[in-house]
A and B are shown apart, each in its own frame.
Chain A
Amino acid sequence: MARTGRKKPSPRVLVWLGVILAVLTAVLAGGTMSGVASWAPKLALDLEGGTQMILAPKVEGGSDINEEQLNQAVAIIRQRVDGSGVAEAEISTQSGRNVVVSLPGTPSAETRALIQASADMNFRPVLLAAPGDPVPEAERTPAAQLPKPTAKPQNGSDSNWITADIFKRFEALDCAKPQQDKQERSDPAKPLVTCEPATAETPAIKYILGPVEVKGVEIQGSTFQLQQGAQGAVTNEWAVNIQFNAEGTAKFKTVTERLHQFYITAGGDTGTDPKSQFAIVLDDQVISAPRAQAVITDGRPQITGGFTEKSAKVLSDQLRFGALPISFDIQSEQQISATLGGEQLRMGLLAGLIGLLLVVVYSLFQYRALGFVTVASLVVAGALTYLAIAILGWTENYRLSLAGVAGIIVAIGQTADSFIVYFERIRDELREGRGLVSAVENGWKRAKRTVLASKAVNLLAALVLYFVAVGNVRGFAFTLGLTAIADLIVVFMFTHPTLQQLARTRFFGEGHKFSGLDPERLGAVPLYRGAGRVRTPEDTPSVVRAKNTGAAAEAERRMTIAERRRAEQQLAGSSKGPAKESK
């Protein structure tokens, strides 16, 4: 803060405010020029139009979804959407069956895939693997040589799972074709024929998988990191970690004990026995099929090999969200027209503008020239808020909703209140008979506390609403908090320093009729009104004494104590009977 002494305050604070504004503008300009930001704030679904998806959850086994599961589904999808950086996504339930996801703008393919990605995740042992192309008709295994189970399978990796029918399907499978007939989830107790889709780095692979051994719900969490070498040094390899719960840990231990055996038998790293692999299956598709290079006893396996940072994150996210035994079908995907949003925004801004104009007129009417300081302050606060919203739209993907616009319109009043509190304090000081320069300083000292305390209430409300509430309410709380901060910056760095400067001009300092600070109109009472007519100290609230020296304060306190004693004496006297006149 500016040191406010008797000497002329420097306009340094004002310069700093200018620097802040310039830096913010430069940041935004830089972002815009490099094409990642835009001058216009990003808009939310209700203003911009957007996409709405209706998702039908499906529970394993085809039973009806209950309310608890639905709520769980909503929570999971919300987490997924928020995790993908989409602001103001609204996720609601519909007729107790479906989940409705509203996304502003057109979601990226990644976001859409993430939402759609079924959380039906599990771990199956690999029985057989082959490149993703179908075996040409001519080369297919003749019926006589098709595998025939000789006994009941002993464990998940037993080749007896592979029946002739399964093997035929495996050979015919073409991973390049989308699998349309996936209406039902696969039976977890039976083997599964499926693909690992091709990525940029790896071609598609098809598998025959054993029955589910570990379920996705048994995953407690997943992280990704750079792999640590033997010495604990960080290598350049990305790794994905999984943590199982107690049940999962026990099951995974049994699985890896068995699979690791295949790994050893096949010759360790050089071996190629697919049975040493376990497949992580999401939505009946293999997302990864690592080999069991060790027996995992602590339920904390680490998957390594060929990850980039991005692919490690994707797998880790999929594993984390995979803990829900519900899958989703997109029932409908609907674009919401931007017409309505655009109209609402235009009308909202128009109403806000009219409101602002009324505030300007009222301020000028009430405070005359001082009203211009209010208007200028509001303009600065508006510029700060705009820059913050535009920059946050770029960096944090913050989107302005209609509720947010309402928050800003409401904030006009609360921002102007800081100035009103301050001006009224200055007027009070003038009424006490102070000169304008010291009235500004003293008024500021007292107004500062009030402004801080009241803004604290506002910020508290904004923070609580932001963290507790959902959807719309959040956007509103955000702008409310943002404008409260902008208000504080403006009051401290613009309004007060400006008034300090203005107090030294002739127009304001001499209390011109139109300055709004005319002592005469304010009915100022000079501290000394000529011989014998000094105002009593009680007229002056004690806080004004802030500038007085300790000695003066002490003197005053002594006086009031003496006064109190006298009063007490008088009180005692009066209770005895008619009091005698003192002196």
Chain B
Amino acid sequence: MSSFAKFGNDLYTGRRSYDFVAAKKIWFIIAAVAVALSILIPVAKGGFNLGIEFRGGSEFTVSNVKTTDADLGEKAVQDVVPGSVPRVANVAGTTMRIQTDKLTDDETIKIKEGLTSAYGVTDNEVTSTFVGPTWGADVTKQALIGLVVFVALATVLMALYFRTWKMSVSAIAGMLVTMFITAGVYALSDFEVTPSAIIGFLTVLSYSLYDTVVVFDKIRENTAEIEVSTRRTFGEEVNLAVNQTLVRSINTMMVAILPVGAILFIGAGLLGAGTLRDLSLALFVGILIGTAATIFIAAPMYAWLRQSEPLLVKQAQRVEHRRAEGAKAAVEKAAAQPAKG
């Protein structure tokens, strides 16, 4: 505890410093590999595990079941439609959800009867729905439009606020990395892609940019008068800002992820599959990656984008020179001292 406070102090003064900026090549390579993997995973697995909203099909919900045995549901469906592969899941306590391919009206009625007797419930505790395959596509299309509009507006907003488009570009780059990796992990987890997962995904994007803005604001502050300072180079100044906000980044990430983690790990046990679980997985991964992407991708990229600006190259030379001077002075001072004594 006190060591965490000390950790914060050391980060602030620069006594302890992690080289996020200088080691950018490593981070970029890791990110590139992770993004490539995230693209390959869904391809290798033959696409995402799409929810019924995207596939289309019939869905039954059975409330107040006596037992949550999935086999009963499967059997009830297969009795009517031999060879079909229904997806049976326990959603929230004593409710079962059975999803099948598209059924005829006749089959629906028969399966409904079968489920009623299999789970020992009354007639009105079994509901059935068809879902057309366009629902999910509709939502996704609108979400994508929203995404593009949001990114465009956020880019302009950040460029105006920070007075440099390079911060916008770096922030968006960090966001894209977050987006790809989150999608990759989602594909790997084999969770169903449902509209609520799409919602989680959109939140992650906004969180990712939000987090980057907080860190970039500190960078902007630290580098406001970089042209007239000879203490640190631009890259070092950026790195210091990231280090100084590191405690905040960790604290924020923890606070954001605790409720989400509670839903994902505690809630999922109680809830089974459902809106909240799909959402919280996207969020959980997204918040982790988003925080990391700000530190490892966005900030180093910003330093990298700007380091070749003539003004900053000159400034770096001055810093080098001053340091050389300082070192020389220290050596001479050290050499002079024994003579004195």
The 8 A CB mask of B308-336 against A (1 = contact, 0 = none) is: 00000000011001101100110010000
The minimal Cβ–Cβ distance linking A64 to chain B, given in whole angstroms, is 16
Which of chain A's residues has its CB closest to B241's CB?
A541
Q: Chain A residues near B1 (CB, 8 Å)? A: 365
Q: Chain B residues near A465 (CB, 8 Å)? A: 143, 146, 150, 202
Q: Chain B residues near A557 (CB, 8 Å)? A: 228
Other-chain contact of A355, B127, B200, B209, B258 (Cβ < 8 Å): B258
CA gap between A510 and B92 in the complex, in Å? 51
Other-chain contact of B134, A92, A416, A454, A522 (Cβ < 8 Å): A92
Is residue A352 contacting chain B, with contact meaning CB distance below 8 A? Answer: yes
CA gap between A560 and B127 in the complex, in Å? 76
The minimal Cβ–Cβ distance linking B184 to chain A, given in whole angstroms, is 21
B63 engages A337 (CB within 8 Å)? yes
Which of chain B's residues has its CB closest to A518's CB?
B5
B255 engages A453 (CB within 8 Å)? no
B276 engages A347 (CB within 8 Å)? yes
Other-chain contact of B125, A337, A365, A471, A560 (Cβ < 8 Å): A337
A413 engages B9 (CB within 8 Å)? no
The minimal Cβ–Cβ distance linking A317 to chain B, given in whole angstroms, is 25
Is residue A236 contacting chain B, with contact meaning CB distance below 8 A? Answer: no
A567 and B217 contact, Cβ closer than 8 Å, known pairs A523-B13, A560-B228: no
CA gap between A356 and B263 in the complex, in Å? 11
Q: Interface with A: B25-33, B39-47, B72-80, B218-226, which one?
A: B218-226
The minimal Cβ–Cβ distance linking A186 to chain B, given in whole angstroms, is 29
B142 engages A458 (CB within 8 Å)? no
The 8 A CB mask of A420-459 against B (1 = contact, 0 = none) is: 1100100110010000000000000010011001101110
Question: How many residue-residue contacts, CB under 8 A, span A and B?
Answer: 291
Q: Chain A residues near B228 (CB, 8 Å)? A: 557, 560-561, 563-564
A457 engages B262 (CB within 8 Å)? no
CA gap between A563 and B129 in the complex, in Å? 76
A406 engages B275 (CB within 8 Å)? yes
Which of chain B's residues has its CB closest to A417's CB?
B252
The minimal Cβ–Cβ distance linking A335 to chain B, given in whole angstroms, is 8
Is residue A166 contacting chain B, with contact meaning CB distance below 8 A? Answer: no
Q: Chain B residues near A194 (CB, 8 Å)? A: none
A52 engages B252 (CB within 8 Å)? no
Which of chain B's residues has its CB closest to A467's CB?
B146
Is residue A464 contacting chain B, with contact meaning CB distance below 8 A? Answer: yes
Is residue A176 contacting chain B, with contact meaning CB distance below 8 A? Answer: no
A355 engages B271 (CB within 8 Å)? no
B322 engages A413 (CB within 8 Å)? no
Q: Chain A residues near B138 (CB, 8 Å)? A: 92, 470
Which residues of chain A (324-353) have a CB below 8 Å from chain B?
Answer: 334, 336-337, 339-340, 343-344, 347-348, 350-352
Is residue A310 contacting chain B, with contact meaning CB distance below 8 A? Answer: no
CA gap between A94 and B132 in the complex, in Å? 4
CA gap between A461 and B147 in the complex, in Å? 9
Is residue B238 contacting chain A, with contact meaning CB distance below 8 A? Answer: no
Is residue A579 contacting chain B, with contact meaning CB distance below 8 A? Answer: yes
B63 engages A521 (CB within 8 Å)? no
A454 engages B143 (CB within 8 Å)? no
B248 engages A350 (CB within 8 Å)? no
Q: Chain A residues near B93 (CB, 8 Å)? A: 343, 347
Which of chain B's residues has its CB closest to A344's CB?
B92
Which residues of chain A (52-66) have a CB below 8 Å from chain B?
Answer: 52, 54
B interface bracket (residues with beta carbon within 8 Å of A):
35 or more
B271 engages A424 (CB within 8 Å)? no
Instruction: Find the residue from A471, A476, A543, A568 having the highest chain B CB count within 10 A.
Output: A476
Is residue A242 contacting chain B, with contact meaning CB distance below 8 A? Answer: no
Other-chain contact of B222, A355, A359, A431, A541 (Cβ < 8 Å): A541
Q: Chain B residues near A412 (CB, 8 Å)? A: 255-256, 259
A470 engages B139 (CB within 8 Å)? yes
Which residues of chain B (95-127) have a CB below 8 Å from chain A?
Answer: 95, 102, 124-125, 127
Q: Chain A residues near B145 (CB, 8 Å)? A: 468
Is residue B61 contacting chain A, with contact meaning CB distance below 8 A? Answer: yes
B205 engages A523 (CB within 8 Å)? no
The minimal Cβ–Cβ distance linking B272 to chain A, given in whole angstroms, is 9
Q: Chain B residues near A354 (CB, 8 Å)? A: 259, 262, 266
Q: Chain A residues near B295 (CB, 8 Å)? A: none
The minimal Cβ–Cβ distance linking B50 to chain A, given in whole angstroms, is 16
Other-chain contact of B258, A344, A350, A359, A456 (Cβ < 8 Å): A359
Other-chain contact of A347, B202, B203, B258, B267 (Cβ < 8 Å): B267
Is residue A480 contacting chain B, with contact meaning CB distance below 8 A? Answer: yes
Is residue B51 contacting chain A, with contact meaning CB distance below 8 A? Answer: no
A421 engages B248 (CB within 8 Å)? yes
A413 and B13 contact, Cβ closer than 8 Å, known pairs A336-B127, A424-B245: no
B139 engages A473 (CB within 8 Å)? yes
Is residue A93 contacting chain B, with contact meaning CB distance below 8 A? Answer: yes
CA gap between A542 and B159 in the complex, in Å? 22
Interface of A is mostly: helix
Q: Chain A residues near B271 (CB, 8 Å)? A: 344, 347-348, 351
B142 engages A560 (CB within 8 Å)? no
Is residue A414 contacting chain B, with contact meaning CB distance below 8 A? Answer: yes
Which of chain B's residues has its CB closest to A339's CB?
B63
Q: Chain A residues near B124 (CB, 8 Å)? A: 337
B230 engages A563 (CB within 8 Å)? yes
Q: Chain B residues near A416 (CB, 8 Å)? A: 252, 255-256
B142 engages A409 (CB within 8 Å)? no
The minimal Cβ–Cβ distance linking A261 to chain B, given in whole angstroms, is 51
Q: Interface with A: B81-89, B191-199, B296-304, which one?
A: B191-199
Q: Chain B residues near A358 (CB, 8 Å)? A: 258-259, 261-262
The minimal Cβ–Cβ distance linking A94 to chain B, given in whole angstroms, is 4
CA gap between A461 and B290 in the complex, in Å? 16
Instruction: Find the residue from A450, A457, A570 having the highest chain B CB count within 10 A.
Output: A457
Other-chain contact of B5, A454, A460, A522 (Cβ < 8 Å): A522
Is residue A571 contacting chain B, with contact meaning CB distance below 8 A? Answer: yes
Other-chain contact of A94, B12, B130, B276 (Cβ < 8 Å): B130
Is residue B188 contacting chain A, with contact meaning CB distance below 8 A? Answer: no
Which residues of chain A (270-326) have a CB below 8 Å from chain B?
Answer: none
A521 and B260 contact, Cβ closer than 8 Å, known pairs A344-B276, A480-B203: no
B154 engages A457 (CB within 8 Å)? yes
Q: Chain B residues near A581 (CB, 8 Å)? A: 328-329, 332
The minimal Cβ–Cβ distance linking B5 to chain A, given in whole angstroms, is 5
Is residue B2 contacting chain A, with contact meaning CB distance below 8 A? Answer: yes
Is residue A362 contacting chain B, with contact meaning CB distance below 8 A? Answer: yes
Which residues of chain B (50-78) have a CB below 8 Å from chain A?
Answer: 56, 61, 63-64
Which of chain B's residues has its CB closest to A74's CB?
B138
Q: Chain A residues near B251 (CB, 8 Å)? A: 362, 366, 420, 424
Other-chain contact of A410, B131, B203, B225 (Cβ < 8 Å): B203
Is residue A96 contacting chain B, with contact meaning CB distance below 8 A? Answer: yes
Is residue B173 contacting chain A, with contact meaning CB distance below 8 A? Answer: no
CA gap between A100 and B59 in the complex, in Å? 14
Is residue A95 contacting chain B, with contact meaning CB distance below 8 A? Answer: yes
Is residue B257 contacting chain A, with contact meaning CB distance below 8 A? Answer: yes
The minimal Cβ–Cβ distance linking B207 to chain A, given in whole angstroms, is 7
A543 engages B221 (CB within 8 Å)? yes
CA gap between A465 and B145 in the complex, in Å? 9
Which of chain B's residues has its CB closest to A446's CB?
B221
A420 engages B274 (CB within 8 Å)? no
Would you give 8 A-B contacts (Cβ < 8 Å), ordered by A?
A334-B127, A343-B94, A446-B221, A453-B213, A457-B213, A461-B203, A468-B146, A472-B196
Where the two chains meet, the residues of A that have a C-beta atom closer than 8 Å to any C-beta of B are 46, 52, 54, 92-96, 98, 100, 334, 336-337, 339-340, 343-344, 347-348, 350-352, 354-356, 358-359, 362-363, 365-366, 402-403, 405-407, 409-410, 412-414, 416-417, 420-421, 424, 427-428, 431, 446, 449-450, 453-454, 456-458, 460-462, 464-465, 468-473, 476, 480, 521-523, 525, 538, 541-543, 557, 560-561, 563-564, 567-568, 570-571, 574, 579, 581
The 5 closest A-B pairs by CB, nearest first: A355-B259, A413-B256, A461-B206, A351-B267, A523-B9
